[in-house]
């Protein structure tokens, strides 16, 4: 897959690029399935390659482990990072599955030790498997007969701080909380309501003895896929993104909704928390990166740089800086709006990858995110100035700042022009808006993304909320803090945007000395950082985080999904 450029050719793949802190380079440390010839099949094309990392205590310094899935296979390698090339013929673990395929996985960092490394694996037919990379005899199956849920597992996470609890989301739009030590029932579970709120309901099983699932969360519209969820760094909050186009942020232990945001179009596909837990970033089918403030419970910025769906967003804790700290070394410091060498405001580094095969890096300063709610500047002549990651407008005539009316419609442009004429100010016609901007001005809840990619032929439909809760009513949210119009919040531009793969990108993980990407064809690449970049903010990451192939056969078991044995 290649991206056309203005010259009519195809954009060259980048193996290195320069940012303010120096040069990032792709290393020889490439991971993939050992036998790649003729291995690209229909399953591999339909499932995303995911990455999981864990660091096991090891006196020799070889404790890093990487897990990734490719098609029907799952691999675990010793991760050598930027030091040495990968030893592909010698995986620690290799599993092949029949009748199903792995979709996601997660290591248990709470119980991890030299004697035990627990790994959860979710599957396309709804089952969940627990294996131990050290204790080979440990293997447990959950939802084996698919009585709990028959749909694909979309995301799986251990609950932060818990040695045996984990959460699983499905494309059915439901989250399940499991206990590793509790059994699953031998029949269809019966549920009773436990707690209910705007756009969600929590159930427990009707049973005399404790069994899995402990809780069932029904999120959003019935049947609207939960695409991903993420725990906050403190482990107390849970952010969930769904195909109905909503971000919902919960207090996990209290099971209460604390805030929400709405996409311009389509579903939100990915979500992450800032290292300090103050911001949630989401990406999705509107091609945008959206920043939501937990403190203010509103969208505070959007980023426009991708030309297709945004598949992964991730903060880089090693280049994020806080007031009073020294930032990473910069190679060009002539822009006064850039993150300074000694910062007086928080500067977040965000990364995103998408189906356009592009990697985007964003520098987001907190003073930008603290701009007033729904403020709009009116002026005679607007000059677009492109600074460090933000597109702003400046005026050469007097200006007035108004509070935005949440009920403003697409006629706001006409009203602004009329008011300018009444004040004898000549206003030139604005540049043609992008597709997303036109949707926003129309109160768009349906339409397409900003980019010109071929993905528009295959845009999935957003399911309109079935409940009567205001948080689930997309049209009532247009123009509010949950979904401000395009001109009602800052618009970011990426620090860099580079094509780094031939196939759509599906994973992005930042590490101290590198970052790691994966794409749909099963290639995992390591990008080394500039010298001294990762040593500045090591404590930020610490504070943020509270051989033979085994053939797995899947038989009948409830409508063709079967059991994993």
Instruction: List the chain domain ranges.
Output: 30-322+345-372+487-528
Residue 273, pLDDT > 80, answer: yes
Q: How do beta strands 93-97 and 73-78 pair?
A: antiparallel
Higher-confidence residue of 455 and 300: namely 300
Is 225:174 a contact under the CB 8 Å cutoff? no
Closest CA to 378 of 346, 343, 403: 403
CA-to-CA dists, residue 93 to 134, 150, 264, 325, angstroms: 10, 27, 42, 42
C-alpha dihedral over 324, 328, 331, 333, to 10 degrees?
Answer: -20
Residue 511, pLDDT > 70, answer: yes
Is 173:222 a contact under the CB 8 Å cutoff? yes
- The predicted model gives 300-324 an average pLDDT of 94
Q: Residue 116: what pLDDT?
A: 96
Q: Phi, psi at residue 130, to the nearest 5°?
A: -115, 125
Higher-confidence residue of 505 and 378: namely 505
Residue 287, pLDDT > 80, answer: yes
Q: Which residue has the tokens 């792995």?
A: 102
Cite the DSSP H helix spans in 389-505. Answer: 412-422, 435-441, 474-477
Is 179:191 a contact under the CB 8 Å cutoff? no
Residue 219 pairs with which residues in a beta bridge? 200
Rounded to an integer, what distance in angstroms lies between the CA atom of residue 132 and that of residue 116? 6
Q: Distance from CA of residue 554 to its chain's centroid?
A: 30
Q: What is the mean pLDDT of the chain?
A: 78
CATH class of this structure's domain 30-322+345-372+487-528: mainly beta
Closest CA to 551 of 535, 565, 536, 537: 565
Q: Residue 37: what pLDDT?
A: 45
- The predicted model gives 546-557 an average pLDDT of 41
Residue 329, pLDDT > 50, answer: no
Closest CA to 87 of 35, 134, 34, 49: 34
Q: Residue 473: what pLDDT?
A: 64
368 confidence band (pLDDT: 50, 70, 90): confident
- The predicted model gives 478-494 an average pLDDT of 92
Q: Distance from CA of residue 121 to its chain's centroid?
A: 19
- The predicted model gives 283-291 an average pLDDT of 97
443 confidence band (pLDDT: 50, 70, 90): very low
No. of helices (H) and no. of strands (E), the chain: 6, 37
Look up residue 115 and give its DSSP letter.
T
Residue 16, pLDDT > 80, answer: yes
Burial 425-454, CB ≥16 within 10 A → b, else e: eebeeeeeeebbbbbbbebbbebbbbbebe
Q: Residue 325: what pLDDT?
A: 62
Is 203:174 a contact under the CB 8 Å cutoff? no
Q: What is the DSSP string of 344-391?
A: SS-EEEEEEEETTSEEEEEEEEHHHHTPPTTEEEE-SSEEEEE-SSEE
Rounded to an integer, what distance in angstroms lies between the CA atom of residue 205 and that of residue 212? 8
544 confidence band (pLDDT: 50, 70, 90): very low
Burial 359-373, CB ≥16 within 10 A → b, else e: bbbbbbbbebbeeee
């Amino acid at each position: 897959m290649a991206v056309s450029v203005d010259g009519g050719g195809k954009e060259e793949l980048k193996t290195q690029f320069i940012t303010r802190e120096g040069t990032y380079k792709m290393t020889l440390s490439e991971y993939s399935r050992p036998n790649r010839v003729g291995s690209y099949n229909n399953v591999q094309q339909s499932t995303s390659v995911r990455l999981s990392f864990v660091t096991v205590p090891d006196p020799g310094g070889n404790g890093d482990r990487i897990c990734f899935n490719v098609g029907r296979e799952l691999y675990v390698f010793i991760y050598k990072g930027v030091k040495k090339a990968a030893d592909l013929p010698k995986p620690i673990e290799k599993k092949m599955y029949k009748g199903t395929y792995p979709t996601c996985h997660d290591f248990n960092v709470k119980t991890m030790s030299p004697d035990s490394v627990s790994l959860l694996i979710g599957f396309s037919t709804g089952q969940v498997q627990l294996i131990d990379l050290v204790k080979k005899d440990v293997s447990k199956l959950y939802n084996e007969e698919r009585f709990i849920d028959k749909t694909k597992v979309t995301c799986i996470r251990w609950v932060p701080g818990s040695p045996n609890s984990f959460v699983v989301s499905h494309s059915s739009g439901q989250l399940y909380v499991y206990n590793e030590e509790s059994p699953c029932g031998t029949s269809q579970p019966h549920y009773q309501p436990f707690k209910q709120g705007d756009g969600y309901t929590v159930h427990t099983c009707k049973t005399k003895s404790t069994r899995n699932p402990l809780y069932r969360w029904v999120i959003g519209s019935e049947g609207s896929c939960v695409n991903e969820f993420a725990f906050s760094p403190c482990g107390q909050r849970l952010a969930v993104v769904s195909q109905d186009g909503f971000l919902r942020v919960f207090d996990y232990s209290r099971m209460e909704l604390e805030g929400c945001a709405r996409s311009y179009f389509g579903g939100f596909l990915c979500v992450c928390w800032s290292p300090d837990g103050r911001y949630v970033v989401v990406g999705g089918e509107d091609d945008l990166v959206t920043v939501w403030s937990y403190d203010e419970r509103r969208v505070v910025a959007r980023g426009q740089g991708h030309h297709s769906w945004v598949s992964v967003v991730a903060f880089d804790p090693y280049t994020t800086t806080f007031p009073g700290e020294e930032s990473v070394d910069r190679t060009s410091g002539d822009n006064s709006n850039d993150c300074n060498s000694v910062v007086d405001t928080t500067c977040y580094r965000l990364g995103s990858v998408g189906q356009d095969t592009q990697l985007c890096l964003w520098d987001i300063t907190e003073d930008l995110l603290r701009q007033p709610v729904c403020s709009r500047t009116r002026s005679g002549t607007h000059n677009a100035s492109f600074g460090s990651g933000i597109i702003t407008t400046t005026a050469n005539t007097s200006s007035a700042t108004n509070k935005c009316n949440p009920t403003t419609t697409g006629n706001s442009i006409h009203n602004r022009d009329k008011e300018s004429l009444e004040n004898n100010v000549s206003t030139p016609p604005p540049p043609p808006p992008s597709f997303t901007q036109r949707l926003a001005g129309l109160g768009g809840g349906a339409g397409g993304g900003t980019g010109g990619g071929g993905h528009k032929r295959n845009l999935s439909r957003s399911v309109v909320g079935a409940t009567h809760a205001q948080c689930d009513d997309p049209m009532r949210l247009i123009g509010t803090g949950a979904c401000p119009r395009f001109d009602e919040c800052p618009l970011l531009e990426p620090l860099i945007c580079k094509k780094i793969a031939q196939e759509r990108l599906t994973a992005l993980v930042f590490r101290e000395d590198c970052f790691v990407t994966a794409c749909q064809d099963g290639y995992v690449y390591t990008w080394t950082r500039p010298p001294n970049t990762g040593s500045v903010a090591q404590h930020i990451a610490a504070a943020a985080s509270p051989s033979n192939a085994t053939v797995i056969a899947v038989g009948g078991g409830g409508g063709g999904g079967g059991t994993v044995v």
